[in-house]
Copies of this chain bind each other. A is one copy, B any other.
Amino acid sequence: MKNPKYIKVLDFIKNKIQLGEIEVGGYLPSENELCLHFSVTRTTVRKALDELLKEGFIEKQHGKGSRVRERRKSLGLLTVKGFSEAVGENAQTVFIQKPVVSDWGIEINHEVNESDKSCQCIYFERLRKVNDEPVMIEKNWMSGKALEGFLNMEFTEGSFFKTLSRVYRIEITGSEHELRAGFANAKTNSLLNIKKGIPVLRISVKFTTSNPQLTIYSELFCNTEKYPVGNSYFI
């Protein structure tokens, strides 16, 4: 099924929360009300709410209802969400290197798939800012096999993930992260406006996608002095 109903319900509620139409601490409509509103069964509504719960948007209270959680101010980078969606409206992005053909970076911490190593590699690098302060350098490598015409392409709404989805019909299906404390090189330090000797949080990500030929390798260098990286998990 291309457009599952639970995605519609999920997007509807997530949108309401992100626009502030339901205030923090406010209750969502009950599951039964949502069922009526969307003409679906509770199974479908609950699947959507489970996603929202997993992503930290809501909390559930047995016997009371589902409430909007206070959104963390830190960067929610440890999910499959992209940066912009995770951080919100105060995020800015600047290309340091537009997509080019390159070698597989020696900085990649995850093991690169054998099938990728033998292929042409596409690389791009971006600087992420919050409120105009640089907080993260993001370096990305991926095989060019599945991405015909990717070089010189404008990103859909400035988002790499949206481009993958809208242009190539490729969805992110999973991610693995490794986290380390370390130091960045001089160039990255300078871009992040970090003094020498200040450690950075380094996150190595391996994204799997709905296209078996496409795996994305990212190395993130985060200045955590003002904005720690956040993650939450509820059951």
Contacts and interface: CB of A to CB of B under 8 A. Distances in A.
A56 B177 CA distance: 12
Interface residues of A, number: 39
A193 to B, nearest CB: 15
A178 B74 contact: yes
A233 B201 contact: no
B228 A174 contact: no
Interface in A164-217: 172-183, 199-202, 204, 208
B232 A175 contact: yes
A181 B182 contact: yes
A177 B232 contact: yes
A175 B54 CA distance: 11
A122 interface: no
Contacts of A175: 232-234
A189 B177 CA distance: 25
* Interface-centre pick from A109, A174, A181 (highest chain B CB count, 10 A): A181
Contacts of A199: 181-183, 199
Interface in A134-183: 172-183
Given A181-B199, A199-B181, A222-B181, A174 B80 contact: no
8 contacts: A172-B235, A175-B233, A177-B230, A178-B228, A179-B230, A199-B199, A201-B201, A204-B228
Given A78-B231, A79-B233, A172-B235, 20 more contacts: A59-B174, A78-B233, A80-B235, A174-B232, A176-B231, A176-B232, A176-B233, A177-B230, A177-B233, A179-B201, A179-B229, A179-B231, A180-B229, A181-B202, A181-B222, A181-B224, A182-B224, A183-B199, A201-B201, A208-B234
